[in-house]
Amino acid sequence: MTTEMTEPVTATPNAAAESTRSALLSVRDLQVDLVRGESRTRLVDGVSLDLAAGETLCLVGESGSGKTLTAMSVMQLLPGGVEVTGGSVELGGRDLLRATTKELRAVRGNAIGLVSQDPMTALDPLVPVGVQVGDAIRAHDRRISKAAIRARVTELLSAVGIPNPAANARRHPHEFSGGMRQRVGIAIAMANRPRLIIADEPTTALDVTVQAQILDLLDTARRESGAAVLLITHDLGVVAERADRVLVMYAGKVVEQADVLDLFDRPAHAYTEALLRCSPGATSGAGEPIPGTSARAGALPTGCAFHPRCRIGADRPRCQQETPALLTLGTRHDSACHYPAEVTR
Amino acid sequence: MKRHLIRLCLALAVLLLLPACGSGGGGGGTGGGSEELTIAAAEQFDGFDSTSLAGTNIQAAVMRQLYDTLVALDADRKPQPRLAESWEQSPDHRTMTLHLRPGLKFSDGSPLTAQDVVWNVTHGQDEKTAATARPLFMAISKATAVDPATVQLTFPKPLAAPFDMLDYLFIAKPQDDPQKLKNSPVGSGPFKLEKWDAGTSATLTPNPSFWDAKSVKLKRVTFKFAGDLQAAQLLFRSKQADFLFDSTWKDFASFAKQSGVQTLMAGDGGRVEMFLLNAAKPPFDNADARRAFAAALDRGAITKTVYRGQTEAWCLPWPEGSVGYEASPDLARSCSADPARSRELLTKAGHADGLRFSILTVAGIDAEVSQVAQQQLAKAGLNAKIDSVEDTVFFDRAFAGDWQVLTSTVQRVAHDSATSIQLGVPLQNGGVSNFKSDEYQRLIDSVLYENPGSDRVADMRKLNEFLLDQAFFVPVTSQNPHYVFAKDVKGLQVTLDGYLILQNVSVG
Amino acid sequence: MTRFVLGRVAQMAVTLLGASVVVFTVLRLMPGDPALVYAGPFAGSDVVEAVRDRMGLHDPLPVQYLLWLKAFVTGDLGVSSISGLPVSQLVGSALAQTALLTLTTSLLAIGVGVPLGLLAALRKGTWADRLVAGFNTVALGVPNFWLGLILVIVFAINFSILPAGGSAKLTEDPLGALTSLVLPTIALGLAPAAMLARLTRGAVIEVMHEDFMTMAAAKGMSIGFVIRRSLLRHVFLNLLPVLAILVGSLLTGAAIIESVFTLPGAGRLIIESTRQRDYAVLQTLLVIFVAVFLLVTFVADILYSVLDPRVRGHLMREGGVR
């Protein structure tokens, strides 16, 4: 009982809101709902994030936590029935949520490149890969000559490490291995030298042996172009190696965000702690699974959405009743846990 | 089942259409050309074999246009000169000499001689030809060409009505290939075949070599085969045809009331609807059972419901004016239903508890007649089951003798009644009904040939009484060819059997 | 690929041979004697025998079959037992008529159905979608022969602007032949158009859910660009089996519509020759029908492999597996 009142309320609410205006991508209080007639189900609830040029931000969380929806909200490519109902998404100071379809189309594939989760399905099986890369260029430059496209495609394929690029450009996706296909995917994302690359679990569908190569490639691309990378993953090992900052999501909300070293050293949310424990790839994870099942949108527990599975808060009335706010704990480290001090490494 | 449904829908649609266009068809359908006639027909031609008169009505309709005969019978059954301009018979009536018109030609321009006539006679007599009128041709024992313009026919016995046979002897140009006789006819009639797309249409144009070519006014006659009655009617109503060759009795009755079109029911005797009773099989091997069947039938009710009152109830298959009718006009049309007598006869035949049997028929008007008859028969204890089958199955079973009662029509009864018996297989001794008796043969012979010293009319009366008593066939009504055509079609004539003569037709 | 084609051709030949045996046998097992159709049910037995002899019906069945097969492969299709006309002429003109109607009907069905389906899918849930769905329901619910009759009554009889029936030949009267195809094409093509609209809508929606469609949008491609580049190919591949069946069934005769419009096509010929037990015509026509179906599915398969590189690659490696 005593611990309940030990927490000092030093944090300021909504810390991210005060971070620099110089960020390339700035998401504020994003709300995404599933709209079915009259009923609305909140899928993403008040997510804010900032990403500067050249930086890699990892979105971490179990499936269904809203990390992909958050990323796709930036591109305004949400599945049918899913809508952004609040907040703002600014890229280079421009609010994408207020952009027209035409303006959005000019941004997609141009300022923002997308590397999708599954290279097996993200490429059209009926179209040669070279054409698919070329389409990304043509979509933003109607007047470009075929020869110019071909040259650029060859260059791109070569840059992502496709051997014999001119010949391979004429091949169809099924003739490539998964890793090779993802290289093509990266070539497509990089086609117009984007300022932001969104990579949605780009390696989950791939062989372990090629995962590192693909991530290296992505890193190289980032370094050479100076683009920002929004990397969605649930692999904390990847996070540890690639991220500058990490944003942990649970049940549609940000539960913790921090610089990568800070997060691994001093996790401040019981969920992050549990993630670290269950991830075998992470520095000292024991591979312990998180008990229980992930909270479902529309049927969220009261209080902290994580409390039924929480080591700390499962039995605490505060956790059961009071929704924790995302509060700044220290330098660039926010947590939405009632008892961050009890979280251990 | 589905077919019936479709027919029902077609009929419904046509019904819808009736008030929509009161005037119906009408001329000008073929581009206003005053010399072209388009005939819409449900059925198509099987070919143009001059000896093939069986089959569909449409088949008979084209005969007179393509082929001429030596002599033709007029409406009064009097012989009129056609290819033969004159003739004489020997005093014993056993030879007939016919003189051909000078300069006769076939439609291909080649000369038509007495030798060609002889070929047609022997061709018609050949078993392989399977000529419909073969029984008539067999009455000729010898045909000779006396000279290129004279034909002499010899008969073993003097025929009472020799011109009947000549009325059916269509003169075609001799060709060795039977397929050619069928597909590429070269004839002697007012028209020749210009074009034939089997299943689609056939076009006739005037035969320039026809002996009476100047009388032919039409420049073109087109038969369009619609596939069924409704489709044919649509062609007529949409003015794509100015002549509707066949129509249901219901439609015909409705057309007959309209002012915009002409209708013609050809003379009696083209066809007679009848029931045939199988005398070789129980129960109708018993004459009393057959008499019971005949007595139970109410022909008037059948003509009223099925034929919409357009036809007359017949007890004997002879039209007015024929020797068969004139011999006993009292018997020919008066045979009212008598269920009580029918029951009596049934008891006499040993079926006091009633009788079960089946009627073999085909869908259409025959089946309708059977259904009405079924109810009438049931009142007398004759319980009929109706086997309505497809044409070919009907043919198989009829040919195999696998039936008790069947519906049938006998065609061409308008000529001499003795000729009709000889030609109409259902009427023959030992014909379809398997009824065979020496008495019947004796009666037939007595009217078929000229028998010195005997009264032909009295013999015919005896024959009629015999037929009514034996009842192996039971006539119901005449089923005449009936045509609907545009107002501007003029000069239409029909043969004694009711088939088309287009020689003098004009349009507009 | 060549091996695949050769293999399939050989396979089709065997199927066709088997089909010809079945067709031949079934026709002869069917009740109904063609000799009686020719001579009439009341003809004497001697006459009927003479006709049977002429039709070659006295030989044992296997002999009849082999004689027919031998003639068939040497191109001699025989003559109709009823009209005596060459079968090649009868069947040829009927098939030509039907092929023409199939062509116009397919064009109508695809030209109307695919755009409507595309519209419905792209405007899913809007009034346009509902309008298309309404059209589909009506077009699929109306029996085509009834529609045909209504069209005839309205356009041929009441307004007299189009012919009620067509027997004009394309070679002789092109305009007449084409105008006489207008009404039957509409009557016959509306239901397939609706069916294609439904299938296209479903296929488009399905393809729209594919990752590569999202990816195309993420590339910034316009909807028109995506439709041309990806959507239509996938939708066409989806519809290919249905199109094959549609074309196949149209080619093998639309008997009822042909009756309504008095079009002398294959459907009417098969009904007529069945009624007349015209073996020579029926055999040829049925074997050709089987061949048409085999050919259409074969062409569909070839098209499939041309359009889908995965299948093509598979065929190249495996040498053709069905």
Across chain B, which has 508 residues, the per-10-residue mean pLDDT values are: 51 47 39 75 88 77 93 91 95 94 96 96 89 89 95 93 92 91 92 89 94 94 88 88 91 90 84 93 94 95 91 92 91 90 93 93 92 94 93 89 92 87 88 92 92 88 95 92 92 88 91
Q: Does C111 touch chain B (CB under 8 A)?
A: no
Point out the residue among C41, C152, C160 whose CB comes nearest to the CB of B398: C41
- Can you tell me the distance from the alpha carbon of A311 to that of A320, in angstroms, rounded to the nearest whole number? 13
Element (H, E) at C100: helix C87-122
Count CB atoms within 10 A of the CB of residue B113: 17
DSSP assignment string, B106-137: -TTS-B--HHHHHHHHHHHH-GGGT-TTHHHH
- Can you tell me the distance from the alpha carbon of B316 to that of B473, in angstroms, rounded to the nearest whole number? 9
CATH topology of domain A12-111+194-342: Rossmann fold (3.40.50)
Instruction: Determine contact, residues B385/B290, Cβ cutoff 8 Å.
Output: no
| pLDDT tens, residue by residue, C149-173 | 888 888 888 888 888 776 667 777 7
| Chain A CA closest to residue C210 | A121
Q: Do B288 and B251 sit in the same domain of this protein?
A: no
Q: Sign (positive/negative) of CA torsion B41, B47, B51, B56?
A: negative
Q: Does C238 touch chain A (CB under 8 A)?
A: no
Helix, strand, or coil (residue C60): coil
Contact C43 B130 (CB under 8 A): yes
Distance from CA of C10 to the nearest CA of A (A): 29
- Can you tell me the distance from the alpha carbon of A244 to that of A257, in angstroms, rounded to the nearest whole number? 11
State the count of interchain CB pairs (< 8 A) between B and C: 159
Is the predicted ipTM greater than 0.85, yes or no?
A: no
Mean pLDDT, range C261-288, rounded to an integer: 88
Instruction: Determine contact, residues C261/C184, Cβ cutoff 8 Å.
Output: yes
| pLDDT tens, residue by residue, A62-105 | 888 899 999 999 999 998 889 999 999 999 888 999 999 899 99
- Can you tell me the distance from the alpha carbon of A43 to that of C41, in angstroms, rounded to the nearest whole number? 82
CA-based nearest residue to A114, from A141, A136, A129, A138: A136
Element (H, E) at B201: strand B201-206
Count CB atoms within 10 A of the CB of residue B316: 24
Q: Which of B146, B179, B212 is the last residue of a domain?
A: B179
Count CB atoms within 10 A of the CB of residue A13: 11
Contact C84 B47 (CB under 8 A): yes
Q: Does residue B53 lie in a domain region?
A: yes
Contact A116 C222 (CB under 8 A): no
Q: Write out the two tokens for A233.
A: 């993953």
Count CB atoms within 10 A of the CB of residue B49: 23
Q: Which residues of B touch C92 (CB under 8 A)?
A: none
- Can you tell me the distance from the alpha carbon of A62 to that of B234, in angstroms, rounded to the nearest whole number? 72
Contact C167 B200 (CB under 8 A): yes
Contact A135 C215 (CB under 8 A): no
Distance from CA of C322 to the nearest CA of A (A): 20
CA-based nearest residue to C245, from C310, C211, C208, C293: C293
Give the domain extent around B379: 271-478
Band (C53; pLDDT cuts 50, 70, 90):
confident
Mean pLDDT, range A334-339, rounded to an integer: 91
User: What are the structural domains, with CATH classification, of chain C?
Assistant: 87-263 (1.10.3720.10)
| pLDDT tens, residue by residue, A30-65 | 999 999 888 889 999 999 999 999 999 999 988 888
Q: Which residues of B touch C285 (CB under 8 A)?
A: none
Q: What are phi and psi of A330, to 5 degrees?
A: -160, -150
Q: Which of B152, B179, B206 is the last residue of a domain?
A: B179
Letter string b/e over residues C22-49, b meaning 16 or more CB atoms within 10 A of that residue's CB: ebbeebeeeebbbbbbbbbbbbbeebbb
Q: Write out the two tokens for A232.
A: 């969605």
Q: Does residue B428 lie in a domain region?
A: yes
Q: Do B287 and B361 sit in the same domain of this protein?
A: yes
Q: Which of B132, B159, B179 is the last residue of a domain?
A: B179
DSSP assignment string, B21-65: TTT---S-TTTT-TTEEEEEESS------TT---S-HHHHHHHHH
| pLDDT tens, residue by residue, C24-51 | 999 988 888 888 888 777 777 877 888 8
Residues linked to residue A36 through DSSP beta bridges, in sequence order: A39
CA angle A9/A11/A13 to nearest 5° reads 115
Is the pLDDT reported for residue A261 higher than 70?
yes
Distance from CA of C56 to the nearest CA of B (A): 14
Point out the residue among C214, C216, C307 whose CB comes nearest to the CB of A126: C307
* Interface test with chain A among C219, C222, C228, by most A beta carbons within 10 Å: C219
Q: Do B416 and B454 sit in the same domain of this protein?
A: yes
Q: Do chain B and chain A touch with ≥3 beta carbon pairs under 8 Å?
A: no
Distance from CA of B84 to the nearest CA of C (A): 30
Q: Do B443 and B414 sit in the same domain of this protein?
A: yes
Q: Does C85 touch chain B (CB under 8 A)?
A: yes
Instruction: Give the pLDDT confidence score for residue A9 in this predicted structure.
Output: 40
Q: Does C10 touch chain B (CB under 8 A)?
A: no
Q: Do B366 and B497 sit in the same domain of this protein?
A: no
Contact C84 B183 (CB under 8 A): yes
CA-based nearest residue to A78, from A69, A88, A87, A86: A69
Q: Do B363 and B416 sit in the same domain of this protein?
A: yes
Q: Which residues of A touch C215 (CB under 8 A)?
A: 114, 116, 122-123, 188
The CATH number covering residue B379 comes to 3.10.105.10
pLDDT, chain A, mean: 86
- Cα dihedral angle (B498, B501, B502, B504), rounded to 10 degrees? -120
The Cβ-side half-sphere exposure at C268, using a 13 Å CA radius, reads 28
Q: Does residue B184 lie in a domain region?
A: no
pLDDT, chain C, mean: 87
Instruction: Give the pLDDT confidence score for residue B118 in this predicted structure.
Output: 97
Domain count, chain B: 3
Q: Do B30 and B88 sit in the same domain of this protein?
A: no
Q: What are phi and psi of B236, to 5 degrees?
A: -70, -45
- Can you tell me the distance from the alpha carbon of C153 to that of B20, in angstroms, rounded to the nearest whole number? 9
The CATH number covering residue B153 comes to 3.90.76.10
- Can you tell me the distance from the alpha carbon of B377 to that of B355, in angstroms, rounded to the nearest whole number? 10
State the count of interchain CB pairs (< 8 A) between A and C: 82
- Can you tell me the distance from the alpha carbon of B317 to that of B331, in angstroms, rounded to the nearest whole number? 11
**Chains touching C, CB cut-off 8 Å, 3+ pairs:** A, B
Counting every residue written for chain B, the total comes to 508
Instruction: Give the pLDDT confidence score for residue B9 in this predicted structure.
Output: 52
Q: Domain boundaries in chain A?
A: 12-111+194-342
Distance from CA of C37 to the nearest CA of B (A): 7
Distance from CA of C277 to the nearest CA of B (A): 8
Q: Do B435 and B300 sit in the same domain of this protein?
A: yes
Q: Write out the two tokens for B500.
A: 């088309």
- Can you tell me the distance from the alpha carbon of A98 to that of A95, in angstroms, rounded to the nearest whole number? 6
Q: Do B333 and B436 sit in the same domain of this protein?
A: yes
CA-based nearest residue to B366, from B386, B346, B343, B392: B386
Instruction: Determine contact, residues B317/B428, Cβ cutoff 8 Å.
Output: no
Distance from CA of B227 to the nearest CA of C (A): 6
Q: Which of residues 201-240 of C touch B (CB under 8 A)?
A: none
Q: Does residue B397 lie in a domain region?
A: yes
Q: Do B255 and B287 sit in the same domain of this protein?
A: no
Contact B47 C262 (CB under 8 A): no
**What percent of chain C has a predicted confidence (pLDDT) above 90?**
37
- Can you tell me the distance from the alpha carbon of B104 to that of B82, in angstroms, rounded to the nearest whole number? 11
pTM: 0.78
Which bin fits B309, alpha (ψ -120 to 50), beta or left (φ > 0)?
Answer: left
Is the pLDDT reported for residue C232 higher than 60?
yes
Point out the residue among A139, A172, A175 whose CB comes nearest to the CB of C219: A139
Count CB atoms within 10 A of the CB of residue A39: 9
Is the pLDDT reported for residue C64 higher than 80?
yes
The CATH number covering residue B16 comes to 3.40.190.10
Q: Does residue B284 lie in a domain region?
A: yes
Contact B392 C37 (CB under 8 A): yes
Instruction: Give the pLDDT confidence score for residue B499 in this predicted structure.
Output: 87
- Can you tell me the distance from the alpha carbon of C230 to that of A126, in angstroms, rounded to the nearest whole number? 8
